[in-house]
Amino acid sequence: MELSGKVALVTGGSRGIGAAVARRLASDGAAVALTYAQAVGKAKTVVAEIEDAGGRAIAIQADHRDPATAAEAVEQTVRELGRIDVLVNNAGIFGGGPLADITEDDLDQILAVDVKAVFLASQAAARHMSDGGRIISIGSALAERVPGPVFTLYAMAKSALTGLTKGLARDLGPQGIRVTVIQAGAITTDMNPDTGPAADFLRSITALGHYGHTDDVAALVAYLAGAGGQYVTGTAITIDGGLAA
């Protein structure tokens, strides 16, 4: 129960990586708030699973296509759970396709969710965090290596998180707040299943030859949120099975 007495907010916590992270942080003792855009049923299921295991959790509706909702979720977490010690910026959308087909609206949407909402949530959380606070963003290995066409928009948005992480680490280091970004590779989720049309290609370009699981990412988040992350800040940590090797 390393995180006993701590409060964590996981954005996009109703499914996939976010749900696995929420369950893992709760199992380590944290009270957990999680946001969802539309999947209220899945969010309630995650909350119920945490509560059935003896933990405390709340679900907050927040569609980060309106980036202001990310900061509002931080404030609601503090109001309902009393504090915030760990922010996991997990909510994101994928934008891709042939370069010529990408519209300005596509650009605005991915920057709103994958960059602006992350900045606003981090800014809001930093106002409430004390020494030992953690801000952990879920990025993408595509920020390190783009293995083919159609990924330009997504790679650009996720690359922004590296610069944001380094800047926040410098700004917040004097407060004792650690800031990291996790560059996730081929992790099997509803959005990117290991049975999907791109699965064979993605497996072929990893060193290990297979997808990772959401619990793999959750374990890394838990390490960074706990004592293991005490001297880790301002850096990207890749978990991609060797995709970027």
Q: Give the pLDDT score at 195.
A: 86
Q: Does residue 144 lie within any of the structural domains? A: yes
Q: Does residue 192 lie within any of the structural domains? A: no
Burial call 141-177: b when 16+ CB within 10 Å, e when fewer: bbbbbbeeeebbbbbbbbbbbbebbbebbeebeeeeb
Q: Does residue 101 lie within any of the structural domains? A: yes
CA gap 147, 209 in Å, rounded: 15
Residue-wise pLDDT tens digits, 105-143: 999 999 999 999 999 999 999 999 999 999 999 999 989
Residue-wise pLDDT tens digits, 34-85: 999 989 999 999 999 999 999 999 999 999 999 999 999 999 999 999 999 9
Q: Give the pLDDT score at 173.
A: 98
Determine whether 154 is an active site residue: yes
Q: Does residue 96 lie within any of the structural domains? A: yes
Whether the Cβ atoms of residue 70 and residue 125 lie closer than 8 Å to each other:
no
Q: Does residue 46 lie within any of the structural domains? A: yes
- We report the CATH number of the domain holding residue 64 as 3.40.50.720
CA gap 206, 191 in Å, rounded: 19
Of 36, 154, 211, 231, the active-site residue reads 154
The 3-state DSSP class for residue 55 equals: coil
> Residue 202: is its pLDDT beyond 90?
no
Q: Does residue 168 lie within any of the structural domains? A: yes
Domain hosting residue 154, numbered range:
7-186+213-239
Prediction pTM value: 0.95
Q: Could you give the residue ranges of the DSSP H alpha helices within the chain? A: 16-27, 40-52, 68-81, 104-111, 117-128, 152-172, 199-204, 214-225
- Average the pLDDT over each of 130-139, 194-203, 221-230 and give the range with the smallest value: 194-203
Q: Does residue 204 lie within any of the structural domains? A: no
Mean pLDDT computed over 173-202: 91
Q: Give the pLDDT score at 197.
A: 85
Q: Does residue 193 lie within any of the structural domains? A: no
Tell me how many domains the chain contains: 1
